[in-house]
Copies of this chain bind each other. A is one copy, B any other.
């Protein structure tokens, strides 16, 4: 498949996802009124739709034949993801998401909490129609998402956070839902246990890479993030480049890095980046991204060559190139 054709097909899948989301939000707004409209604004504000596209491709790769069978599950993943964003934004006091005012900024915190709950309910309603094995995977990784967020809070501005702590948090918070989505797609396609585990591992590796790319974009700045540059640093989140630099730097440089993290402001970006570069921490993060993406790809070798596999590889490239 030519690159252009692959990109077109991924665009078509994104259009399909958006059409389904619009249709659900339209129907649900007629039933549930304001909470659906307010929540719907975030759902429909865009976003890359990487999760539902990946779920649909994983289903296809695993031998699934009926797109209608997987669509509600793909939508479920996007609703649950959006629910967690709405609640995260409250906790992070973020004012902008996907280029728009966040719900709590626009409608107040109480409605934002409830809007997130509504989005979770929708996600679970869509996902709850599948077999117990699928529901178990999803519910487990939703619970795991929450437990990782607890851990992340405990590590706010904790300069002794290790790469292992980081990986544990990221596996739960970002990568787990990717892994669960891909495995769930395999289960729905009635694929073998081995195939489901390959899909799970693929999703986990992709998810880790995805978070690492986010870490870099937050530091370097990128309008596609839909939120201000440096948000993670302002929130005291220990991202991998920071953790790496805190480990590698010594003496005055480490002291200065700690000061910058504790009292961050926009004027400190250049100094922060030169410290991170001194420790080669951005390059190190780039290498890690490459490693995780390669490990993700290895899991695809298990499956026969097909269009879905080609498209997943292109999706991986798209994720990788976000930080360039």
Residues of chain A at the chain B interface (Cβ within 8 Å): 28, 31-36, 38, 83-84, 87, 90-91, 108-111, 113-118, 120-122, 124-125, 127-129, 132, 135-136, 138-140, 142-147, 149-151, 153-154
Docked-complex contact A132 and B128, CB < 8 angstroms: yes
Does B135 lie within 8 Å of A132, measured CB to CB?
no
Q: Cβ of B118 and Cβ of A146 under 8 Å apart?
A: yes
A121 contact set on B, CB distance < 8 A: 120, 139, 142-143, 145-146
Chain B residues lying within 8 Å of A139, measured Cβ to Cβ, are 121-122, 124-125, 128
Residue of B nearest to A136 (CB): B125
Q: Which residues of B contact A116 (CB under 8 A)?
A: 113, 117
Given contacts A91-B113, A128-B132, A129-B136, 15 further A-B contacts (CB under 8 A): A32-B143, A34-B154, A35-B149, A83-B117, A110-B153, A114-B146, A115-B146, A116-B117, A117-B142, A120-B120, A121-B143, A121-B146, A125-B143, A128-B135, A128-B139
Contact of A127 with B128 at beta-carbon distance under 8 Å, contacts A87-B113, A153-B111 already known = yes
Determine how close the nearest CB of chain B comes to the CB of A84; give it in whole angstroms: 7
| Bound complex: CA A40 to CA B117 (Å) | 19
Copies of this protein in the assembly total 2
Q: Tell me the minimal C-beta distance from A83 to chain B in angstroms.
A: 8
**Closest residue on chain B to residue A137 by CB atoms:** B125
A124 touches B128 (CB 8 A): yes
Residue of B nearest to A148 (CB): B35
Tell whether, in the assembled complex, residue A135 and residue B129 are in contact, meaning their CB atoms are under 8 Å apart. yes
Beta-carbon contact of A132 and B129 below 8 Å: yes
